[in-house]
Amino acid sequence: MRIITGTARGTRLATLEGENTRPTGERVKEAVFSMIQFDIEGRRVLDLFGGSGQLALEALSRGAEGAVIIDSAPEAVEIIKANAKATKLFDRCRISAMEYEPFLRRAAGRESFDIIFLDPPYKSDYMTRALSLIASGGIAKRGAHIICEHGDGDVFRGDAELAAKYEVKKRSNYGRANITVLTPAEEA
């Protein structure tokens, strides 16, 4: 796994050993960044289930202003810090070991982001819970890109009320990984 392009192009990134994390594959990462390539420069990024930090670090390498990277596993946070230092992007990151829900509750009304990466465990309900908190907390700026990597099925898991809070910009399938790009719905 490496940074594809930008200031840290070619930097190899470390990942956690074992089954607890599932790094985004190179093909999927390239597709995601092709979708948002003209909307990265100067933007604020949130990587909520950081893993190795590769998505936020790729965005920073391509010109994002700053990134907040959250992961609940202390060992993942150490990997993220090491990767941020290896890419020389550490000074543009805020990296925290904490659960996503307390972070989103604290950030509500205080912080907002232009690009949000959500890549929780596929079989959990974390995606819908995170999307609900992002919507209620005003955490996604108007026109923000929310990039959701998930398993099979609908990103909203049939929750019509939650789906009404977002506009689906794009859906793509890459084997086991599905990418859904959302933006906050315009208020009526």
- pLDDT at residue 188, as a whole number: 38
Q: Give pLDDT, residue 21.
A: 60
pLDDT value of position 177: 87
Round to whole Å and give the CA distance between 166 and 86: 36
Q: In what order do the strands lie in the sheet with 113-118?
A: 93-97, 66-71, 44-47, 113-118, 140-150, 177-184, 166-174
| Burial label, 176 (beta-carbon count in 10 A; 0-12, 13-18, 19+) | exposed
Does residue 99 carry a pLDDT above 90?
yes
pLDDT in tens, 11-28: 999 998 755 566 677 888
Average model confidence (pLDDT) across the chain = 93
Q: Is a pLDDT exceeding 80 seen at residue 89?
A: yes
114 near 43, Cβ under 8 Å?
A: yes
Average pLDDT over residues 81-108: 97
Give the tens place of pLDDT for each residue, 63-82. Answer: 999 999 999 999 999 999 99
Domains of the chain: 26-184 (3.40.50.150)
**Cα 97 from Cα 119, distance rounded (Å):** 16
Q: Tens of pLDDT along 106-163?
A: 999 999 999 999 999 888 999 999 999 999 999 999 999 999 999 888 999 999 999 9
pLDDT value, residue 25? 73
